[in-house]
A = this chain, B = another copy of it.
Amino acid sequence: MKLSRLLAPTLKETPAEAEIISHQLLLRAGMIRKLASGIYTWLPLGLRVLHKVENIIRQAMDAAGAQEILMPGVQPGDLWKESGRWEHYGRELLRFKDRHDHEYCLAPTHEEVITDLVRKEIRSYRDMPLNLYQIQTKFRDEVRPRFGIMRAREFLMKDAYSFDPDEESSAESYRIMRKAYEEIFDRLGLKYSVVEADSGSIGGSFSHEFMVLAGAGEDAIVSCPACGYSANVEKAEVKLADESAAEPIMETEQVATPDAHTIEEVAKFLSVKPHETAKTMIYLADGKPVAAVVRGDREVNEIKLKNRLGAAELELAPASVIAEVTGGPMGFSGPQNLEIPVYADQELFGIPALVVGANQKDAHLKGLNIKRDAPKAVRADLRDITETDPCPRCGATLTFARGIEVGHIFRLGTKYSQSMGATFLDADGESKPIIMGCYGIGVSRIVAAAIEQSYDENGIIFPMSMAPVSVAVLAMQAKGEVLEAAQKLHDELWAAGVDTVIDDRDVRPGFKFKDNDLSGIPLRLVVGKKGLANGQVELKRRSGGDIEMIDLDKAVLTISQMVRQAGGQTA
């Protein structure tokens, strides 16, 4: 592979469109190019990385007994109506009509199609356990695509689906997939955590996420070093250190708070701490108003609220609804005297007196006691876990990290098989719904996550297993014996099963070193006049360490052993 012929257009400057490192470096290394918002083309080096990730996933899935299939990206709306998601999926589901005016969508996921397949093909408990997977292009019409391939609209995903006759068998299928996922991420050379997670719009009883640990990760992860508990912060349940409810200490008193709009302004004006206030947010849950109350210094965890309500859609209510249900303007709501359902975070029940909105303009209420003054308020876990909360399992102190979700496995139960009538006959001839699981990996996202985890000021540092090529041979002269020796070394490495690129371009050495560092190729061999005179070439690892001189006549053997030991692959 000659760099002089390869379409790998590197950029010196960081493109303005790229906010995060992986996006910047993938653009700068000439591995991807943007076509439209959230839609990218993979150039040759980038695609090689993607293919290597695919290979590792495919091998592990096959070894785990899963069978590869390929389902369509364009799917009939009728199937999504059967499962109920045509209504509930929201606008990420891109819908359109074909020339005959039939409704279709671009698949963001394949539960409906696979359930339709198995309800026609699985008849008996003898046909299970069955695990079907695919590596296929998905489309999600994200409202704000960003971060390059990290949160794209069109992306490559591996999705697997398991089918079992009973809970025990389904749990075993889940366990097998979890183990396969660990093998995949180990082989990819990534540092990751497996955490308990929210099941979101896929649904089902419980799920785990695989998180690549990286400072710029979108998700916060909490872990307990004592008992091993680990969860996405958006899902981690909060257990209070003190569960007892506080008794009232004063009567409520309405006070004027002109021009105090934020919690900070109100607290300052009334000389209290923000944690002695509560904020009341009015939401529309599937169109119906509901109030959620949390401490003034907290935010409502909307995922917890949505799950607590069992709602499909949740959004902040507009000012007109707030006025109607509270009697006051936005920014002055309180939980008292509301006719709509009120959910109050559990810690509010431990605070004797709170400052809340008075449900009228420029006024707040002091001395509110949730139990006394909002007696219908439902006690709920509505906020994110924090560093001062104990482990919900064992009570020990928690640690926090940031991660990028690259895999997500779900116990679906009978959510889809029941709504879509996917049944089988058990050993007694009785018809039962199939028990399902689903298992996703963001294939293209892994490439971004790996870079977020491993780079330096000069560029990407790819793990060997997913590097675009394992070795770069840099010819210090683009002609004569130097080029010849470099070309020979490149050819022999390929013959030994080591994928290699040769930088045969007629450019300055500094330019070659810079491009090489940028693209993250694990091993660099420099072929120069001086080394050749001694029968040697320079070896340097992208991950660090000193330059070594190695004998040219042993180079192929040395390098191919290094590549194999580090988990390199040729494809």
Contacts and interface: CB of A to CB of B under 8 A. Distances in A.
Contacts of A117: 33, 41
Interface in A417-475: none
**Which of A41, A113, A139 has the most chain B CB atoms inside 10 A of its CB?**
A41
A484 to B, nearest CB: 21
Interface in A99-134: 99, 102, 104, 106, 113, 116-117, 120-121, 130, 132
B76 A35 contact: yes
A68 interface: yes
Nearest to A116: B35
A533 interface: no
Interface string A3-47: 001110100000000000000000000000101100111111001
A75 interface: yes
Given A33-B120, A39-B74, A117-B33, A5 B65 contact: yes
Contacts of A33: 117, 120-121
A168 interface: no
A35 B71 contact: yes
Given A65-B5, A91-B99, A94-B98, A50 B70 contact: yes
Interface string A154-166: 1000000000000
A435 B9 CA distance: 20
Nearest to A79: B35
B153 A74 contact: yes
Given A33-B120, A116-B35, A98 B67 contact: no
Contacts of A67: 6-7, 44
B35 A75 contact: yes
A29 B71 CA distance: 17
Contacts of A94: 96, 98-99
Contact of A75 (B36, B40, B65, B91): B36
A63 interface: no
Given A96-B96, A116-B35, A41 B72 contact: yes
Contact of A41 (B35, B69, B137, B139): B69
A32 B98 CA distance: 23
B74 A47 contact: no
